Amino acid sequence: MTRRTVIENCAIATVDADGTEYASGHLVLADDRIEAVGAGRAPRDVENVVRRIDASGHLATPGLVNTHHHFYQWLTRGLATDHNLFDWLVALYPVWARIDEEMVYAAAQGSLAMMARGGVTTTTDHHYVFPRGCGDLSGVIVRAAREIGVRFTLARGSMDRGEKDGGLPPDFAVESLEGALAATEATIDAHHDASFGAMTQVAVAPCSPFSVSTELLREGAELARRKGVRLHTHGSETVEEEKFCRELFGMGPTAYFESTGWLGEDVWMAHCVHMTDDDIAAFARTGTGVAHCPSSNARLAAGIARVPDLLAVGVPVGLGVDGTASNESGELHTELRNALLINRLGPHREAALGARQVLRLGTHGGAQVLGRAREIGSLEPGKLADLVLWRMDTLAHSSIADPVAALVLGAPAPVTASFVNGRQIVEDGRLLSADEDAIARSTREQARRLARIAASTA
């Protein structure tokens, strides 16, 4: 029997192609899918209704989609707070090289819990630190995502260009080329689900031009295409990276990525701050996607990504938290606001981005760059029931007339309910799927353990 949930009396921003909104509307969820969305109350003849939610005072949106993160960094928040990217990496690599299964599992729980209670229903984790003898880190990350109940893409990262090869990471923190490729393939075989509505997918994700070899990029791209999975990496994040690429490869990052097979509709890249007009044209021509991470770019003084220029030529853009060592809040809903504000400080000023545009980036745009726009990212019949009810009738928002402006420009809105595949995972701002207080304790313990081990081996 189909089990239906009716949600009514709320404002709805569907984020469909026409940007359809309802000042007061209804949604019907049937099992794991959205069956109907429309104005006014739901039809009275809907059958097999197991739950009816009066969502007065709320805004319903698609669940937020986070397109870039590093869960393990949950244990190293608040360190190297006045550094640029390269100095920050050099300060943190020796600590990160000491992570183990227990630490990474706790960090993944913390990262996932924080995002879920703020309206994220789909996320990625770009994990690229695999110290020798660290155990099955991919396995514990996937387990944490399943337990919290968030839709998930594990971007299996890697680094094989240590200091002795002119790279940035210390030699003890990198894998071999063959080892990284074999482990990535094994992770795809173990966890990637290509079916509609999949809860777990895997992408091939060498870390960055300054931490991986040209061969790993090239062979990683071949592996991803042979397996039919997506490709992810960091690109054009800082002026230092641009300089590194010019010195080592004789070209800028985008040309280097193109020469190694790393532009295409199946690729999304984090940051893309330092892009020339030609770089942006190459992304548009190839359909390469971008994960825009405004808070992290500000925290590491990387610069302002040219989001309005990317959107103007049709580049798919989603939003990203980035790792919490460079964005301690670990939330995505505040990135809506930050994306709008930071882009308005750029050359397009007030015309840079609007509230509805950033909501689109945080939902449909994210679904697009993860290759899942047929399944999620908007509230439309036939799509998966991944959605959020934001509370808009408290002191923080009740006097803001436009609910989308309230969500984007106002204080972080409380999440009354969040659904993934029609299953509720958050109620009144608290996780239903896990014990937040227990996670808070275990992440604190593991952060201290990591600090202790790193100090004793320094």
CB of 225 to Zn ion, least distance (A): 23
Choices 87-95, 174-182, 317-325, 340-348 (CB under 5 A): range interacting with Zn ion? 317-325
Half-sphere exposure of 188 (CA within 13 A, CB side): 20
CB of 211 to Zn ion, least distance (A): 11
The kind and range of the H/E element at 386 are: none
Write out the binding residues for Zn ion, residues 76-135 only, by CB under 5 A. none
Are 3 and 48 within 8 A, CB to CB? yes
Are 57 and 432 within 8 A, CB to CB? no
The angle formed by the CA atoms of residues 378, 380 and 385, to the nearest 5 degrees, is 75
Identity of residue 214? T
Q: The tokens of 172 are what?
A: 């003890």
Choices 90-98, 242-250, 272-280, 314-322 (CB under 5 A): range interacting with Zn ion? 314-322
Choices 24-32, 164-172, 206-214, 315-323 (CB under 5 A): range interacting with Zn ion? 315-323
* Binding flags for Zn ion, 268-287, as an x/- string (CB under 5 A): --x-----------------
Rounded to whole angstroms, the Cα distance separating 417 from 429 reads 7
CB of 219 to Zn ion, least distance (A): 22
* Binding flags for Zn ion, 340-379, as an x/- string (CB under 5 A): ----------------------------------------
Q: The tokens of 128 are what?
A: 């690229």
CB of 68 to Zn ion, least distance (A): 6
* Beta strand pairing call for 230-235 and 267-271: parallel
For Zn ion, which is the closer residue by CB, 22 or 93?
93
CB count within 10 Å of CB 66 equals: 31
Determine, following the binding rule CB under 5 A, whether residue 335 of this chain makes contact with Zn ion: no
Rounded to whole angstroms, the Cα distance separating 434 from 102 reads 17
CB of 291 to Zn ion, least distance (A): 8
For Zn ion, which is the closer residue by CB, 42 or 321?
321
Q: The tokens of 366 are what?
A: 């994210």
For Zn ion, which is the closer residue by CB, 291 or 426?
291
Q: How far is CA 328 from CA 70, 414, 415, in A?
A: 12, 19, 20
Number of residues that bind Zn ion (CB under 5 A): 2
Write out the binding residues for Zn ion, residues 251-270 only, by CB under 5 A. 270
Q: Contact with Zn ion (CB under 5 A): which of 175, 258, 322, 375?
A: 322
Rounded to whole angstroms, the Cα distance separating 137 from 156 reads 10
For Zn ion, which is the closer residue by CB, 83 or 344?
83
Kindly list the residues in this chain that would bind Zn ion in the complex (CB under 5 A).
270, 322
